[in-house]
Amino acid sequence: MTPYRDMTKEELLELKSDLDEQFDAIKAKGLNLDMSRGKPSTEQLNLSMEMMDVLRSDSDLVCEEGVDCRNYGVLDGIREAKQLLADMMEVPKDNIVIFGNSSLNIMYDTISRSMTQGVMGSTPWCRLDKVKFLCPVPGYDRHFAITEYFGIEMINIPMTPTGPDMDLVEEYVSSDPAVKGIWCVPKYSNPQGITYSDVTVHRFAKLKPAAEDFRIFWDNAYGIHHLYEDTQDYLLEILMECKKEGHPDMVYKFASTSKISFPGSGIGAIAASDANLADIRKQMRIQTIGHDKVNQLRHARYFKDIHGMVKHMKRHANVMRPKFDIVLHTLEKELGGLGIGNWLAPRGGYFISFDSMNGCAKQIVAKAKEAGLIMTDAGATFPYGKDPADSNIRIAPSYPTVEELKTAVEIFTLSVKLVSIEKILSEMLGIE
């Protein structure tokens, strides 16, 4: 395929005319397609429906501690749920606390607690002149929304194929005591699907922060969300690495079953050092009498152990893999060799990251919307919604049906082509 920049103005105008006709034909169908968020599809939600039959009105609802799960008690999670999520998070059971239905909520609480109470006796962040957070980009928009909500200054850290630019991370963390944390999605990252290399994890564990209350916010949201059985990414366990380096308190690790069982009705957890968890439990005793133990028991009895969870995730992969293959095949077929976009082929997670020509992302998303396709806002993968290059677009294949997805990717690639041609033509006119 001839790269668009190698084509003449006349060739581009003729191509644009053909593409406009195709686009108008799709637009006339009045479609309403949603590829905006990484929501599991109905087919995926149905995979967990048998969980609803695990507990009945005549079920024994006493957990391993001997506590009736219908009643108060067991502040930080029942033993069997702790064991299940500890194995999923690859940490000792004693280093985990079970919360409610969302890891995002735990992260919000953790930032909020740091703002008002400080971290393990340090000055509350709200009393400081400046608080800063490092943000690998492109990244997860909801992470950035939390720190923006609390007025924390966010600093972009470019992602590389092996994780965040660690030279920059080390420079900021070691030299500026106002830098209090960094957001990380270390495995099958949102949106690129990158997994941090062993070297990157080692460098995280060896950080020497200028701030005693600096913390790594390690959101391992996709730890067991593989797409392929024979090619899976491996991630070093960060808590153990930090402990080896003499920095056991430097990391908070988060995870949940949101995209394993039911989003919004799963269980979330934080893993951290003994000292960190003691600090967290102080707030919990004020904040709650305990989270939903009945739901914890339901999950533990349904999955039974990590092997049951892994088996369940293979069923998810069987639903997700064809959708990722459709997107990746179509991107290559329609855009490969044209010089108007780049993308990564992840081995797991929920997203495909697409980089258009600079200055085109917002227009591409708007163009797709004209034809009835809703996508994540361009810029959402950067703090404050501002992508300096206006190039990154997050593709979320999970929610549409296979047939809807085929149409959605057709609309997307058409939008990329049309906006790119307009960009090149405007540059040509500018030169003339």
Phi then psi for 407, rounded to 5 degrees? -70, -40
**Same domain assignment for residues 340 and 384:** yes
Per-residue CA distances from 414 to 19, 240, 410 (Å): 7, 47, 6
Judge whether 54 lies within some domain: no
**Same domain assignment for residues 96 and 242:** yes
> Is the pLDDT assigned to residue 11 strictly greater than 60?
yes
CA distance 355 to 358: 8
What would the pLDDT profile of 94-133 be if each residue is shown by its tens digit? 999 999 999 999 999 999 999 999 999 999 999 999 999 9
3-class state of residue 413 by DSSP:
helix
Average pLDDT of the chain?
96
CA distance 312 to 315: 5
CA distance 414 to 430: 24
CATH of the domain at 393: 3.90.1150.10
Lateral strand order in the sheet of 392-395: 341-343, 352-356, 392-395
**Same domain assignment for residues 30 and 67:** no
What would the pLDDT profile of 131-152 be if each residue is shown by its tens digit? 999 999 999 999 999 999 999 9
What would the pLDDT profile of 350-369 be if each residue is shown by its tens digit? 999 999 999 999 999 999 99
**Same domain assignment for residues 360 and 387:** yes
- Domains: count for the chain: 2
Name the residue among 40, 50, 88 with its Cα closest to residue 319.
Answer: 40
Going by pLDDT thresholds of 50, 70 and 90, the confidence category of residue 1 is: confident
Q: Break the chain down into helix, strand, coil percent, rounded to 5.
A: 45, 15, 40
Give strand ranges (E) for 121-279. 132-137, 153-160, 163-164, 179-184, 215-219, 251-256, 268-271
Domain boundary at 265, 284, 304, which?
A: 304
> Which amino acid appears at position 405 of this protein?
L
**Same domain assignment for residues 383 and 403:** yes
Q: Which domain holds residue 178?
A: 62-304
Judge whether 142 lies within some domain: yes
CATH of the domain at 143: 3.40.640.10
DSSP labels, 336-400: TTSSSEEE---SBSS-EEEEESTT-HHHHHHHHHHTTEEEPPTTTTSGGG--TTS-EEEE--SSS
Lookup: tokens for 340:
């108007």
What would the pLDDT profile of 170-221 be if each residue is shown by its tens digit? 999 999 999 999 999 999 999 999 999 999 999 999 999 999 999 999 999 9
Judge whether 417 lies within some domain: yes
Judge whether 181 lies within some domain: yes
CA distance 151 to 423: 36
Percentage of the chain beyond pLDDT 70 is: 100
Going by pLDDT thresholds of 50, 70 and 90, the confidence category of residue 431 is: low
Are 218 and 143 in contact, with CB atoms under 8 Å apart?
A: no
8-state DSSP, 6: G
CA distance 257 to 266: 5
Percentage of the chain beyond pLDDT 90 is: 97
> Is the pLDDT assigned to residue 430 strictly greater than 80?
no
Give the relative orientation of helices 166-175 and 198-205 as an angle to the nearest 10 degrees: 0
Query: Beta strands 132-137 and 153-160: pairing type?
Result: parallel
CA distance 420 to 399: 27
**Same domain assignment for residues 352 and 394:** yes
> Is the pLDDT assigned to residue 349 strictly greater than 70?
yes
> Which amino acid appears at position 34 of this protein?
D
CA distance 395 to 341: 13
What would the pLDDT profile of 254-269 be if each residue is shown by its tens digit? 999 999 999 989 999 9
Are 291 and 100 in contact, with CB atoms under 8 Å apart?
A: yes
